[in-house]
Structure 1
Amino acid sequence: MLKSYLISSSRKSSGKTVISMGLCSVIKSLDKSLSVFKKGPDYIDPLWLSKAAKTNCYNLDFYTMTHSEIRNLYKLVTQKSNITLIEGNKGLFDGISLDGSDSNAALAKLLKSEVILVIDCGGMTRGIAPLLAGYKSFDNKIKYKGVIMNNIAGDRHEGKIISAISEYTNLDVLGSVHKNAKLDIMEQHLGLEPIFLKTNANKIIKSISSVIKSSINVECLLNPRVKKRQTFKSVKMQIKNNSYNLKIGIAKDSAFGFYYADDIDKFKSYGVTIKYFNTLKDKSLPDVDGIFIGGGFPEIVADRLSKNISMKKSIKLFVESGKPLYAECGGLMYLSKAIKYKSKTYSMVGLINGEVNMLKKPVGRGYVDIMITKKHPWMKTDQLVKAHEFHYSKIKINEKYNYAYKVKRGYGINNKSDGIMYKNLLASYTHIRDTQKSRWIKNFLSFVEDSKIKE
Structure 2
Amino acid sequence: MRQQNIPRLVIGAPRGRSGKTTVTIGLLAALVYALKLVVQPFKKGPDFIDPSWLSRVTGRACRNLDGFLMSRETIRSSFVRHSRDADVAVVEGAMGLFDGVDLEGNGSTAAIARAIAAPVILVVDTTRMTRSVAPLVQGFMHFEPQVAIAGVILNQVARPRHEQILRGALEKYCGVPVLGVIPKGKKLIIPDRHLGLIPAGERDELQQALVEIARVARECLDLEGILAVARQAPPLEVNSGETGVVREVSRTGGPLIGVFRDRAFSFYYPENLEALEEAGARLIFIDSLQDPALPEVDALYIGGGFPEVFAGQLETNEGLRKDVCRAVEAGLPVYAECGGLMYLGRRLTWQGRTYQMCGALPFDVVMDDKPCGHGYEVVEVSGENPFFPTGSLIRGHEFHHSRLVNIDPGLRYAFRVVRGCGIDGEKDGLTYKGVLAAYNHIHALAVPQWAEALVSRARQWRRTTSAT
Please state which band the TM-score falls in when normalised by the shorter chain: over 0.9
Sequence identity (%)? 35
- In the other structure, the counterpart of 1:3 is 7
Q: Which runs of 5+ in 1 are unaligned?
A: none
Query: Could you tell me how far 1:191 is from its partner in structure 2?
Result: 2.4
Q: Give, as a single letter, the amino acid of the residue that structure 1 aligns with 2:114.
A: K
Residue in 2 aligned with 1:91? 96
Match of 1:216 in 2: 221
**Counterpart pick for 1:395 among 399, 404, 418:** 404
196-205 or 88-97, larger mean C-alpha shift: 196-205
CA offset digits 1:111-144 (Å, max 9, x no partner): 0111010000111111111111111121221223
Distance, in Å, in 1 between the alignment partners of 2:229 and 2:392 is 46
1:240 offset after TM fit, Å?
8.4
SS at 1:136's partner residue? Answer: helix
1:256 to 260, 265, 271: 265
Deviations 1:41-61 (A, max 9, x none): 111111111112221000011
Pairing 1:345-384 to 2, within 5 Å after superposition: 345-384=354-393
Give the Cα separation in 1 of the matches to 2:6 and 2:226: 11
Q: 1:336 to 1:196 in 2, by over 3 A?
A: farther
**Counterpart for residue 449 of structure 2:** 439
Aligned to 1:318, the other structure's residue is in SS state: helix
Alpha carbons of structure 1 residues 54 and 225: separation in structure 2 relative to 1, 3 Å: closer
1:182 aligns with 2:187: yes
State whether residues 10 and 90 of structure 2, in contact with CA within 8 Å, keep that contact through their aligned partners in structure 1: yes
Query: What's 1:270 paired with?
Result: 279
Is the Cα contact below 8 Å between 1:96 and 1:102 reproduced in 2? yes
Residue 430 to residue 136, structure 1, CA distance change in 2 (3 Å): same
Say if 2:409 is the partner of 1:405.
no
Q: 1:375 to 1:301 in 2, by over 3 A?
A: same
Structure 1 CA distance for aligned equivalents of residues 224 and 76 of structure 2: 27
Amino acid at match of 1:356: V
Shift, 1:363, TM fit:
0.7
Q: Is residue 67 from structure 1 mapped to residue 67 from structure 2 by the alignment?
A: no
Which of 155, 161, 166 matches 2:160?
155
How far apart, CA to CA, are the structure 1 residues paired with 2:323 and 2:300? 12
Aligned to 1:102, the other structure's residue is in SS state coil
Matched residues, number:
455
Give the whole-Å Cα distance in 2 for the aligned partners of 1:178 and 1:326: 46
Partner Cα distance (1:125, 1:364) in 2: 38
Partner in structure 1 of residue 307 of structure 2: 298
- Counterpart of 1:296, as a letter, is G
TM-score of the pair, normalised by structure 2: 0.92
Q: Distance in 1 between matches of 2:233 and 2:420?
A: 44
SS in 2 for 1:232: strand
CA contact (8 A) 2:68 2:106 kept: no
Aligned equivalents of 1:424, 1:250: Cα separation in 2: 16
Moved more, 240-249 or 163-172: 240-249
Using structure 1 for the length normalisation, give the TM-score.
0.95
**Does residue 1:135 correspond to 2:140, yes or no?**
yes
Q: Which residue of 1 aligns with 2:346?
A: 337
Gaps of 5+ in 2: none
Quote the residue 1:200 is aligned against.
205
**Alignment match of 1:40 (pick from 32, 38, 45):** 45
Task: Choose from 400, 417, 429 the match for 1:419.
Answer: 429
**Counterparts of 2:26 and 2:387, CA distance in 1:** 42
Q: 1:419 to 1:227 in 2, by over 3 A?
A: closer
- The answer to whether 1:428 aligns with 2:428 is no
Instruction: For residue 126 of structure 1, give the secondary structure of its aligned residue in structure 2.
Output: coil
Structure 1 residue 246 and structure 2 residue 255: aligned? Answer: yes
Q: C-alpha deviations, 1:323-359, integer Å up to 9, x for none?
A: 1111110011111111001111000110011110001
Q: Which residue in the other structure is 1:311 paired with?
A: 320
Q: Distance in 1 between matches of 2:432 and 2:128?
A: 56
CA contact (8 A) 1:18 1:187 kept: no
Task: State which drifts further: 370-379 or 121-130.
Answer: 370-379
* Pairwise CA distance, 1:241: 8.9
Deviations 1:276-319 (A, max 9, x none): 11000111122321110100010001011001111111211222
Task: Give the Å deviation of 1:190.
Answer: 8.7
Are residues 1:105 and 2:110 paired?
Answer: yes
